[in-house]
Amino acid sequence: MATKDKLRVGVLVSGRGSNLQAIIDANEAGKLDAAVVVVVSDVKDAYALERARRHRIAPAFVDPKAHASREAFNEAMAAVLTEHQVGLVCLAGYMRVLSAGFIHRFRHRIMNIHPALLPSFPGLHVQGKSLHHGVKFSGCTVHFADEGVDTGPIIIQAIVPVFDDDTEDTLSARILKYEHQIYPRAIQLYAEGRLEVRGRRVFCKGSDSERPIKEGWRYIHP
Ligand code: GRF
């Protein structure tokens, strides 16, 4: 598909941007009918902005301190996204809560990735909480963002095992590898128009629900 015909994606970041990189790489490998056209950060020196520059994607820093309220700050971000004619907003390590106005404006057009099997362990310090609780499986989730923290309709999940000798770092690394698979996959399903939201549930048209992708112990579905 020609770049001009692709779904235009804006990515919101606060940090290193490895998920952003996975999305860019999937597009450059010809696996995505979607292209990142702008990367918006609330942190001036976020490494994700450098990744954008390297791939000739517009970088944008929107300074939260330059705005009187979260609403005004989110309005400024929305203006950047609108200016770039973004059709889908992807949160990738973006560390702030979005205003209700922003969510409303892009309803079911904002995705987020979270390093746990939601609704378990929303919020921060996810791997510490998962290990402390003693779960035997964890994973990652891509979902549509709503007004809550990590509460929106779930699009896709991947499962990984938790081992006795895991630390927060080893578990994070195992999960991150699958984040990098499921985020581009969710975006591609969206770009193909295959995701249908009905209440809390997201149905994926044309997927064989009897056949999640299995890799060893690890599952990705849909
Ligand atoms: C990822 O673990 C993601 O699930 C969470 O924040 C982290 C961002 O990592 N929301 P990166 O910036 O994409 O490398």
> pLDDT tens, 110-157?
999 999 999 999 999 999 999 999 999 999 999 999 999 999 999 999
Question: Catalytic annotation on 108?
Answer: no
35 with 100, same domain?
Answer: yes
78 with 171, same domain?
Answer: no
Query: Which of 49, 77, 107 is the last residue in one of the domains?
Result: 107
39 with 13, same domain?
Answer: yes
Q: Report which residue type is found at 103.
A: I
What's the CA-to-centroid distance between 185 and ligand 1, angstroms? 16
Atom of ligand 1 nearest to the CA of 94: 10
177 with 91, same domain?
Answer: no
Question: Does 19 sit in the ligand 1 pocket, CB within 6 Å?
Answer: yes
- Nearest residue (by CA) to ligand 1, atom 10, is 93
Where is pLDDT greater, at 163 or 209? 163
Q: Which of 55, 84, 108, 114 is catalytic?
A: 114
176 with 213, same domain?
Answer: yes
User: What is the Cα–Cα distance from 198 to 210, expressed in whole angstroms?
Assistant: 20
Considering the chain, what is the average pLDDT of its residues?
95
Model pLDDT, residue 211: 62
62 with 92, same domain?
Answer: yes
Question: Does 114 sit in the ligand 1 pocket, CB within 6 Å?
Answer: yes
Parent domain of 58: 1-107
Prior bond of 222 cis (ω within 30°): yes
- Nearest residue (by CA) to ligand 1, atom 8, is 93
221: pLDDT strictly greater than 80: no
Model pLDDT, residue 134: 98
100 with 119, same domain?
Answer: no
What's the CA-to-centroid distance between 206 and ligand 1, angstroms? 29
How many CB atoms are located within 10 Å of the residue 116 CB? Answer: 22
CATH classification of the domain holding 210: 3.40.50.170
Question: Does 16 sit in the ligand 1 pocket, CB within 6 Å?
Answer: yes
Question: Does 146 sit in the ligand 1 pocket, CB within 6 Å?
Answer: no
How many independent structural domains does the chain possess? 2
Atom of ligand 1 nearest to the CA of 16: 12
Spatial neighbors of 29 by CB under 8 A, at least 6 apart, are none
Question: Does 179 sit in the ligand 1 pocket, CB within 6 Å?
Answer: yes
68: pLDDT strictly greater than 90: yes
129 with 102, same domain?
Answer: no
Query: Which of 51, 84, 107 is the last residue in one of the domains?
Result: 107
Question: Does 18 sit in the ligand 1 pocket, CB within 6 Å?
Answer: yes
217: pLDDT strictly greater than 70: no
79 with 185, same domain?
Answer: no
Query: Which of 59, 79, 107 is the last residue in one of the domains?
Result: 107
56 with 124, same domain?
Answer: no
74 with 139, same domain?
Answer: no
4 with 84, same domain?
Answer: yes
Model pLDDT, residue 3: 84
Model pLDDT, residue 212: 64
209: pLDDT strictly greater than 70: no
Atom of ligand 1 nearest to the CA of 91: 10
Model pLDDT, residue 215: 65
